Amino acid sequence: MLSSIIKGVAAGLLYLHQDWEQVVIHRDIKASNVLLDEEFNARLGDFGLARLYDHGADLTSTNVVGTMGYLAPELARTGKPSTAADVFAFGTFVLEVVCGRRPVSSSTEEQVVLVDWVVENWRTGSITSTRDARMGVEEYEAEEVELALKVGLLCSHPLPAARPSIRQTMRYLEDFVSLFCRVLPIREMNDFVSLFCRVLPIREMNGMGKHVV
């Protein structure tokens, strides 16, 4: 069920970004905009904020729109919608599905940002401890959860150029059902997540704060 939901949304985003005759930037990817059928197949809905562009066109600046917690950090500076910003929101959505937590939540007096919380657990070698406690503990599912968490972190990288395209993301997600092809993608993702952790202090020094803009 986990992979079906995540891959369903990714497949829809792939069609919007690369496979249709124009580029569609959704700009409001979040859990409440994902529809599930009776077999838990996911479909991306609510295109009220979407923008259409020709492939290869220079995207124009616009007012920042979207939902707090899913907004890519660069939107605060550029105001430009982009496929990379959609990928960031998708990454946050993946982490939300796997962890069973909102992108931004309050714990006692401290505001907790989901992406940063998962990164901190990855740093301490306990990334799978962030999974939703309601999930099972089977070995295959544990591997599936770990891969999903790493894909979520990759997609929500603070630097847009370091995020994978949605097509590359789909290639990683296909490894949910391809055990023999996992070694290389996971090794590549570990490198990306290591870069993510090195970039965090730079992000803070630049005044970007947390992932919420």
Is 13 inside any structural domain?
yes
* 67 phi/psi in degrees, rounded to 5: -120, 135
Tens-binned pLDDT, residue by residue, of the chain (213 aa):
777 888 889 998 898 888 777 888 888 888 888 877 766 777 777 665 667 676 766 766 667 777 888 888 888 888 888 899 999 999 999 999 999 888 888 665 677 788 888 988 888 888 888 888 777 666 557 778 888 898 999 899 989 988 999 998 988 888 654 433 443 445 555 555 555 554 444 343 333 333 333
Q: Based on the number of CB atoms within 10 Å of its own CB, is 102 exposed (0-12), middle (13-18) or buried (19 or more)?
A: middle
Q: Annotated catalytic, 46?
A: no
Is 211 inside any structural domain?
no
- Nearest CA to 115 among 213, 11, 21? 213
Give start and end residues of each alpha helix (H) in the chain.
2-14, 75-78, 83-99, 114-123, 139-155, 166-173, 183-205
Range of the domain at 98: 2-205
Is 126 inside any structural domain?
yes
Cβ 65 vs Cβ 80: under 8 Å: no
Is 22 inside any structural domain?
yes
Q: How many CB atoms lie within 10 A of CB 68?
A: 10
In whole angstroms, give the CA distance from residue 158 to residue 140: 30
Q: Which residues contact 207 (CB under 8 A, 6 or more apart)?
A: none
The catalytic residue among 19, 28, 46, 132 is: 28
Is 166 inside any structural domain?
yes
Hey, what are 186's tokens? 């996971």
Is 171 inside any structural domain?
yes
Domain count, the chain: 1
CATH number, residue 82: 1.10.510.10
In whole angstroms, give the CA distance from residue 25 to residue 148: 23
Is 212 inside any structural domain?
no
Cβ 78 vs Cβ 160: under 8 Å: no
- The answer to whether the pTM exceeds 0.85 is no
